[in-house]
Structure 1
């Protein structure tokens, strides 16, 4: 007989303004305990030393995680020139050095080569799997790690500040699967001065913004077990912001909740589109729109 999970049936999103230090998994565990929630997950890992938006899903909101993970994201990060590390950030060991330093114009010219559809080799110290094993585990064991280049869409990459000849602050908006550390590494190589990420902050991720929605981890700890914490939750349907919404008919609710196709009312939706259905303001299901019906792939329990 399966064990029943302990905790509350509570659903929604909490946008944590992650501090430097804890892993993303550690933050999720703190949030889950603070809410005494049965189930929790996050939409997109941040490195331990990175800060900013870590969107934590509770309960039924975990079913919407893929839609936030796949959404566009924006980062602000500082690149240190003159050194390349084995982790492509300031936590790693220096493996190469250079006395060269780029001008502002040289940086701006080089950035244009990192915009649009690009191919990117993930850092050796990353969670990419090689024959079922994480790349970072092999790298930590001293193995030579070779990863294949992967496609990435970069919407925008800008130079926003130049604190010193040794550093530059950049802002990047990109799609799923982008490694900021790899951008810093490759930019340093293109400029001939080498480079690595010193500081990294995720400014927004899909519908979640660190300024408008972010809650500090200290605040989460302070309000643990307090009803006031529940008031900070965003509704689970916020995670579906990039999908069109259709309206579920009253007679269709039961069919959708049982995983069966059902009629809904739609506006500007095309055959085959992925959509989500609501009834009286509450999300019912996500699925494909086919001939006036929603064919559900995920159903929400209310």
Structure 2
């Protein structure tokens, strides 16, 4: 009787590249679709994104390639800036242009009424996410339940609004805003709640994300710019041109303490072992940090009890 053949480990498809692409996502293009396109363009082994943008929203979508996917949670926690337009007079099922009209009003707010309301939307506030959102209810996505016609009770939760600014009121039906907010804030819900408080209803008619900390607006690259390189026939030349837009993986960790270590310490960390933190300038506060050796990212870990303990290591 012949012995069963051992299953061979399959080699991952694509290149083992690591870094961030700060995509300027176009309107009417899904975040998952954008990640798939970038992964294919760069021939990357794996890819992920930090913070979904609705198809009807444009702007910054940070996409992690390779080992950079290990740093996604730190970007997800970063502050975000959005510019958005609210159209007054209707409340819709999706809180944006796609939804059906739920309520309507002929009332329109004046500029002073809007400005007077905005302090109520600054600081830590309670916000109920939209019915059409990725929030999980009993293991199901809220948007799946909503699409099936099921009424969904989504509990309100705390979100942080650092500032919200009225930029302009071009006409009686619309107002332009900018908001800087923390993780988990739904701008569509802001538009809905502003409309309710102003007794006129409202929905998002335009939305653009201009920042996801630590990445600034000038780091964005339009999708059409990257797609242009498909015309380069030589594969190595094409990939080299694309790789010029990669941002180093460690840039995602710029808000964390940075440890510069030697080769021996790097080896210990890659084996999963802690290293001692010595010297007058050694950090003592218990917090997350990252370590580099020879300018390359080695590990993300915890500082505690005079040690740096690795949680994620990098090749």
**If the length of structure 1 is used for normalisation, what is the TM-score?**
0.96
* Residue of structure 2 in register with 1:290 after alignment: 304
Q: Distance in 1 between matches of 2:272 and 2:181?
A: 34
Map 1:211-290 → 2, pairs under 5 A: 212-224=218-230, 225=235, 226=238, 227-264=240-277, 267=281, 269-290=283-304
2:73 is equivalent to residue 66 of structure 1: yes
Map 1:139-150 → 2, pairs under 5 A: 139-150=146-157
* Residue of structure 2 in register with 1:23 after alignment: 30
Q: Distance in 1 between matches of 2:271 and 2:169?
A: 57
State the SS of the aligned residue for 1:107: helix
Deviation at 1:259, TM superposition (A): 1.2
Task: Name whichever of 244-253 and 111-120 sits farther off.
Answer: 244-253
Task: Name whichever of 269-278 and 231-240 sits farther off.
Answer: 269-278
Q: Distance in 2 between matches of 1:83 and 1:247?
A: 55
Q: Distance in 1 between matches of 2:58 and 2:37?
A: 16
Q: Distance in 2 between matches of 1:268 and 1:179?
A: 40
Unaligned runs of 5+ in 2: 1-6
User: 1:16 touches 1:54 (CA, 8 Å); kept in 2?
Assistant: yes
Aligned residues: 300
Deviation per residue, 1:62-88 (Å, 9 max, x gap): 000000001111100000000000000
Q: Distance in 2 between matches of 1:217 and 1:95?
A: 35
Specify which of 97, 119, 122 is matched with residue 104 of structure 2. Answer: 97
**If the length of structure 2 is used for normalisation, what is the TM-score?**
0.92
Q: Work out which of the two has the higher radius of gyration on C-alpha atoms and give 1 or 2.
A: 2
Specify which of 196, 201, 204 is matched with residue 194 of structure 1. Answer: 201
Q: Return structure 1 stretches of 4+ with deviation > 2 angstroms.
A: 1-4, 263-271
Deviation at 1:159, TM superposition (A): 0.2
Q: Distance in 1 between matches of 2:127 and 2:278?
A: 42
Instruction: State the Cα RMSD in Å.
Output: 1.3
